[in-house]
Amino acid sequence: MTPKENLQAQVPAQHAERVRGTVAGMQRVHGAAYTLTQFLLDATEEHCRRLEAEHHDGQPWPPMPKGDLPRGARIGQARPAGRATSSTGDSSRITPEPEGG
């Protein structure tokens, strides 16, 4: 069995609702075996291949260990109040930022 891990990201609520609606629609068409996990695997695999083709000579980029991606607001962007942050530097676990922090 392939090892699995959580991959979390915050997305706009409207986008999350659209994704859930799409998965529910696919379940009506193809049955309950079509899951959110399958949708995310299909979508991210396709997008990775497209970006690799466009920007990396069609080759996969080297794997990135969990927790190594930069987190939070990008340079020059304000960080939204109350945004969830990692207390351990591990991007697979997030905790709410304290009020006023």
Here the tokens at position 28 are 């009506």
pLDDT tens, position by position, 27-77: 999 999 999 999 999 999 999 999 999 999 999 999 998 888 887 766 666
**For residue range 77-101, what is the model confidence (pLDDT) as tens digits?**
665 555 444 443 443 333 344 445 4
Query: Which pLDDT value is given to residue 84?
Result: 45
Sequence ranges of the domains in the chain? 13-55
Coil/strand/helix, residue 61: coil
Tokens of 68: 């190594």
